[in-house]
Structure 1
Amino acid sequence: MTTKRFFILLLLLAISVQIKAQDDIASQINPPLLQKYIDLAKEYYPKRKMYKASELSAKAKIGVAKASYLESLNASYFYRPNNGTILDATNPYSINGFQFGVNLNLGIFFRIPSLVRQAREEYNSAAYLTKEYDILLETEVKQRYFEYLQGFADLKVKNQAYIDNKAASDGLRYKFEKGEVSLDVYTKAKSLTSTAGSEKLTSELNMLRAKSYLEALIGKKLEDVK
Structure 2
Amino acid sequence: MNRNIVVACFLLTITLFSRQVCAQETFINTVNTAYLDKLIATAKKNYPEVKIRQSQVRAAHSNYNATKFAWLDGLTASYIYSPQNLVNQAQPTIFKGYQLAITLSIGQLLKNPSVTSAANETYKIAQYQQAEYMLTLEAQVRKFYYAYLQAMAELRLRSGAVSDAGAAVKQLKYAFQKGETTFQIYNEQLNSYYNQNSFMLQAELATWTAKTNLEELLGIKLEDIK
Looking at structure 2, the residues matched to 104 and 186 of structure 1 have their Cα atoms a distance apart, in angstroms, of: 99
The aligned counterpart of 1:117 is 117
Measured in 1, the distance between the counterparts of 2:72 and 2:32 equals 55
Structure 1 residue 191 displacement after superposition: 1.1
Helix, strand or coil at the partner of 2:69: helix
Q: Does the Cα contact within 8 Å between 1:86 and 1:92 map onto a contact in 2?
A: no
Distance 1:78 1:32 in 2: 72
1:107 positional shift: 1.1
Post-superposition offset of 1:36: 2.0
Quote the offset at 1:172 in angstroms: 1.3
1:22-171 equivalent positions in 2, closer than 5 A: 22=26, 25-77=27-79, 84-88=84-88, 92-96=93-97, 99-171=99-171
CA distance in 2, matches of 1:17, 1:108: 77
Partner of 1:217: 217
Partners of 1:86 and 1:92 lie apart in 2 by 10
AA of the residue aligned to 1:7: L
1:61-114: CA deviations, max 9, x gaps? 101111212223223445667xx423249x642235x54443222111111110
Cα distance in structure 2, aligned partners of 1:54 and 1:221: 28
SS at match of 2:181: coil
Q: Distance in 1 between matches of 2:71 and 2:43?
A: 40
Q: Which amino acid aligns with 2:130?
A: T
Q: How far is 1:7 from its partner?
A: 1.8
Distance 2:9 2:94 in 1: 121
Distance 2:99 2:109 in 1: 24
CA distance in 1, matches of 2:139, 2:93: 78
Output the CA distance in 2 between the equivalents of 1:114 and 1:126. 18
Match of 2:12 among 8, 11, 22: 8
Unaligned runs of at least 5 residues, structure 2: none
The one of 9, 14, 18 equivalent to 2:22 is 18
In the alignment, residue 213 of structure 2 is paired with which amino acid?
Y
TM-score after normalising by structure 1: 0.88
User: Taking every aligned residue pair, what percent have the same amino acid on both sides?
Assistant: 31
Structure 2-normalised TM-score?
0.88
Q: Which amino acid aligns with 1:161?
A: A
Alpha-carbon offset, residue 133 of structure 1: 1.8
SS of 1:2 mapped into structure 2: helix
Q: Distance in 1 between matches of 2:29 and 2:102?
A: 73
1:159 Cα deviation after fit = 0.2
Distance 2:130 2:211 in 1: 26
Equivalent residue of 2:76, what SS? strand
- Deviation digits for residues 13-44 of structure 1 (CA, Å, limit 9, x no counterpart): 2122212321xx11211112212222222233
CA distance in 2, matches of 1:10, 1:170: 13
User: Aligned partner of 1:58: which letter?
Assistant: A
Match of 1:103, SS state, is strand
Rounded Cα–Cα distance in structure 2 between residues aligned with 1:76 and 1:39: 56
Question: Which residues of structure 1 form unaligned runs of 5+?
Answer: none
Equivalents in 2 of 1:17, 1:49: separation in Å? Answer: 45
Distance 1:141 1:2 in 2: 50
Inter-partner Cα distance in structure 1 for 2:35 and 2:113 = 47
Amino acid at match of 2:150: Q
